[in-house]
Each structure stands twice: as C-alpha cells, then as structure tokens.
A and B are shown apart, each in its own frame.
Chain A
Amino acid sequence: MTPHKVIEIDHLSYHYPDGTPALRDIDLEVYQHESIAILGPNGAGKSTLLYHLNGTLMGEGKVTVLGIPVEKENLREIRRRVGLVFQSPEDQLFCPTVFDDVAFGPLNMGLDEEKVRRRVEKALEMMGLRGFEERSAHHLSEGEKKRVALATVLSMDSEILALDEPTDNLDPAGSRMLIERIQSIPQTKVIVTHHLPVAVDLCERAILLYGGRKIQDLPMRELLKDRALLERFGFDADYAQWMYERNVKLQTSKPK
C-alpha cells in the first residue's frame, strides 16, 4: 500500500508586502504519519513556508492539504485539520486561563461543552499539565508555556501539526521534556527548527532551505553523513557524525 499524501506543495513562491522574495518555487510532498524537519539559517523562509500550510499566508502556487486546496473558502476546514503552533507562546496564549486557551479551538469548531471539556483534559494530560486549567499564562514557566501552546492545537484533534521552533528559548531539561512529549504525538508533523539535535530526535526526513529555496530533501540519516552539506549550513559535522553513530547503535540494540 502506498502511503497517503497529506501535503502537496507545487511551485510555491511568496513575496513580502514590500516585494522582498521569501519563498521561491518550492515543491514539497509530505506523507501521512511522517515527521519532517524544515532546517535552515535565519531568514531562509522556514516559518514563511510553515505559515502556508494553514493559509495564514497565501503565495503564488498551489498548496493542497489532505486533498483540500488552501484557498479562502476552505480556510475554516484547513485550520481545523492543520494545527499551527507559533514560535512565541506569548502570541499563542491569549486567554485569561490555560483552560480557556486550550478550549478556544474546539469551541470555535462548534463542539458541545462536554466534548470540549474532554478534549481539553486529554490535551493537557498528553502534555503533562493536569491541574493547570485555572492557571494564567503569565504564571507559567517558559517550558510550561510551550507545552500549553502545543495543547491548544492538540485539543483540536488536527491531523497535521505544524510547529515553529518548538524548543526555542528552553533550557536543556525543558527541551528534552518537550521533545519526549512531541515524540508521543502520532500525527503527521512538520517542524521548523535551526537546531539539528532537535530535528534528529523528532524527524526522519529533512528539508533544507536557503534564501527561500529548497536546497535538499533527504532522509535525516543521510544528512548526518553528508559533511559538505552540513558544513554549508553551519551545522557541526562532528557532532552530526556522533549522533548518527548513536542512532545506529540505538536502532541495532532495540529489541524487535
């Protein structure tokens, strides 16, 4: 059985309102239950590409998500099925309490209250945030805010998750915890990051962007071996080599 295509991007270009090109002629296909990392330096167009997945931005070219073209009249449906988490949790969390924030999406979908309550409970449980319902966002630590931000889209039961720099601003322990939580989410994931270790832990495929262009699209393990490519993108090739060997070791020692 061939895997089901969930995202199809065809010749996508985008210019900022002032005319600066941000994305140039991007083609991309993502399959169901895949986890892909969009890597690249600052200003490469990573976030801009991500924002096209739920129609937050709309450029020239064709974007199809779950068979639905991303166009104005489908936005409601698209946004229900693609959960986008912004980089800053301060932007993502705008309600007075954690409960209100996590319930915002499901309530907008028109679900009845009992269902909303169950979904909020489940999303908070998945993020390890049980008992946080009545807390205010500004009482939370950065790591907790990031997890609440994720819960706000998990509660929508989206089929695709689009995460913008999920571990940005976190300390190593917070980052590790969030990575483990994200690993436990079964949905298709598109993750923007400039942090190679995060990408390695979360994704099996890497898309490399530079200057708004797609430079490479390859399996993560191949990227880790490609010293020239890694160095071109400013990643530490020795560290990548170490991660590659560690992963191979982990995979061979894993009981079948």
Chain B
Amino acid sequence: MKHAFLDHHSHTESPIHHLDARAKIIVFFTFILIGVSSPPTSFLLFSLLAITLIGIALFARLPLGHLLKKVLVILPFLFVVTVSIPFMKKDAIGGGYNLGLGGLSISQSGLWILWNVVIKSCLGVFSIILLSSTTSFPQLIKGMERLGSPKIFTMLTSFMYRYSFILIDEMYRMKRARDARCFGGRWFWQTKVIGHMIGTLFLRSFHRGERVYLAMLSRGYNGTMPETSASRFGSAEILFLSLSPLLFFLRIYLV
C-alpha cells in the first residue's frame, strides 16, 4: 500500500540534502530557539529569519508552495488556541472575560499575544518542515544519536518508524475484510467489533515483536544496537553550521 511519508522530498538532490544530519538539526533548532526567545516586536529579526529559511528552501530546490501548504496544516490547531486571546482584557489575562454584547472588546495586548503565537509557531513549524524535507528519517535518527540523544529513545523511534507502516497496512486490511462482510448494524454491535479489531491488532503486533526479536537474536543481537560511525563533517557542514552563531549574534544585537 502507498503511504504518505513523513520525510517527503527528503530524497531530492541538493547541497542542503547532502549535508550531515547533525549540522541541519543544530541549525534548524537554533532557528526555533531564536524565534521563540525574541520579543514579539522584533519585526526585523523575524523577517530576517523568514527570508533565510525561504532562502534555504529555494537552495534545497524544494517547492515553496508545498512547504507553505504544510505550514497551513497547523493553522486549525493554532486557531483553537488563539481565538480567545484577543478578547482578553489587558489586566485580566488569567480570566475575567466579558462576553456581553456591549462589553466585547479587543485589547491591544491580546493582539500582541496573538501575533506572538502566530509568527513564532509558523517560523518554528517551517524550520521543522525544512529539516524533515531535507533529511530522510533514518538519517535524522542517526543524527540525533550522534548528537547524544539517548540510545533507547532513538532505537524505539526507529522501530516505530519501521513498523508503523506495517501496522497501518494491517489495520486497513482488517477494515477491508470487515467491510467486505457487510459491517453495519447497531452502534453497540459496532463498538464491539471495533474492540475486537483493536485487540487483534495488539495481539498481532505482540507476536510480530516476538518474531522480530528472534530474527535479531539470530543475527547475533546481544542487547545493544550496533552502529556505524561514518561521519563526514566537512567544510560544507561547518559553513552551514556558522548560521547558528550568526543567528545568535543577530538575536543579541538586533533586538
């Protein structure tokens, strides 16, 4: 079956795609850190961050429209979080709404908060999307590992990545088999069937886990995941990494 992959576009050919994952993780997380830590009034810094990110996207030959569409996906969530903010009174952020028809007012500080949340989450999400569109998932995991992320965490993530697709396939096959036998009837009956399906899926995953473990043992697994330490931290990576101190410099002197 076909899946929507998390790391769409990560196999495009470009200088950014060829960079070591560690450099990209550090730089994109610096973008997030700088964006989040700046006051909402630092328009110049925000525009510089946005221009740099768009520049990187163009340099990586990524379709800008597609990336922006991906950013839009977070807007509904953002909307739910922020819809109440502009209506807060300046001195009553913790509560005290006045929802009477006459008393409905939009406070300036509320608008600032809204702007703050919107610009920072957009920049942050755009950075993450750029990272995942220029780095394949396995590389990302390896990069995290080499940056010192706990081994158990990266191992779990890589297994989850590998088997989530198989689980989704299994779920769809079960759903199809269910529908082929005229699934329907009263809601109580339906919940019962869905309950059985979840149980079956759990049991199947459990047994698969056993079999995978046996396959690992058969190839000499002894409790620790082996790794190759192939690193290629060259001048390109160092050049790209220099964006990080530059951003910090801008953050300190521009705001």
Residues of B within 8 A of A (CB): 3, 136-138, 141, 158-159, 161-163, 165-166, 208, 211-212, 214-222, 226-230
CB-based contact A113/B228 at 8 Å = yes
Residue of A nearest to B136 (CB): A134
CB-based contact B158/A96 at 8 Å = yes
- Residues of A contacting B222 in the complex (Cβ-Cβ under 8 angstroms): 76, 108
From B166, B221, B229, A113 is in contact (CB under 8 Å) with: B229
CB-based contact A80/B166 at 8 Å = no
A223 sits at the interface (CB 8 A): no
- Residues of B contacting A116 in the complex (Cβ-Cβ under 8 angstroms): 228
Residue of B nearest to A80 (CB): B220
Question: Chain A's nearest CB lies how many Å from the CB of B61?
Answer: 19
A204 sits at the interface (CB 8 A): no
Main SS class of interface, B: helix
A105 CA to B222 CA, complexed, in Å: 11
The interface stretch among A9-17, A25-33, A82-90, A229-237 is A82-90
Residues of A within 8 A of B (CB): 51, 54, 56, 76, 79-80, 83-84, 86, 88, 90-97, 100, 103-105, 107-109, 113, 116-117, 134, 136-138, 152-153, 156
A201 CA to B228 CA, complexed, in Å: 38
CB-based contact A79/B218 at 8 Å = yes
Given contacts A90-B166, A103-B228, A138-B165, contact A153 B136 (CB under 8 A): no
25 interchain pairs, CB-CB under 8 A: A56-B218, A79-B219, A86-B211, A86-B215, A91-B211, A91-B215, A94-B212, A96-B137, A96-B162, A103-B226, A103-B228, A104-B216, A105-B220, A107-B227, A108-B220, A108-B226, A109-B220, A113-B228, A116-B228, A134-B136, A134-B138, A136-B162, A138-B3, A138-B166, A156-B219
- Residues of B contacting A153 in the complex (Cβ-Cβ under 8 angstroms): 219
Question: Chain A's nearest CB lies how many Å from the CB of B153?
Answer: 14
Apart from A107-B226, A134-B138, list 7 A-B contacts with CB within 8 A: A56-B214, A79-B217, A91-B208, A96-B161, A103-B226, A104-B219, A109-B220
CB-based contact A96/B229 at 8 Å = no
- Residues of A contacting B226 in the complex (Cβ-Cβ under 8 angstroms): 103-104, 107-108
Question: Chain B's nearest CB lies how many Å from the CB of A52?
Answer: 12
- Residues of B contacting A107 in the complex (Cβ-Cβ under 8 angstroms): 226-228
Question: Chain A's nearest CB lies how many Å from the CB of B200?
Answer: 17
Residue of A nearest to B210 (CB): A91
A137 CA to B208 CA, complexed, in Å: 16
Residue of B nearest to A105 (CB): B219
- Residues of A contacting B227 in the complex (Cβ-Cβ under 8 angstroms): 107
A83 CA to B219 CA, complexed, in Å: 7
CB-based contact B220/A79 at 8 Å = yes
CB-based contact B138/A100 at 8 Å = yes
A188 CA to B235 CA, complexed, in Å: 49
- Residues of B contacting A100 in the complex (Cβ-Cβ under 8 angstroms): 138
From A51, A79, A96, A108, B141 is in contact (CB under 8 Å) with: A96
Residue of B nearest to A76 (CB): B220
User: Which of B214, B218, B229: most chain A Cβ within 10 A?
Assistant: B218
CB-based contact A86/B214 at 8 Å = yes
Q: Which 6 A-B pairs have the closest CB atoms?
A: A107-B226, A96-B138, A108-B220, A105-B219, A91-B211, A138-B165
- Residues of B contacting A109 in the complex (Cβ-Cβ under 8 angstroms): 220
Residue of A nearest to B157 (CB): A96
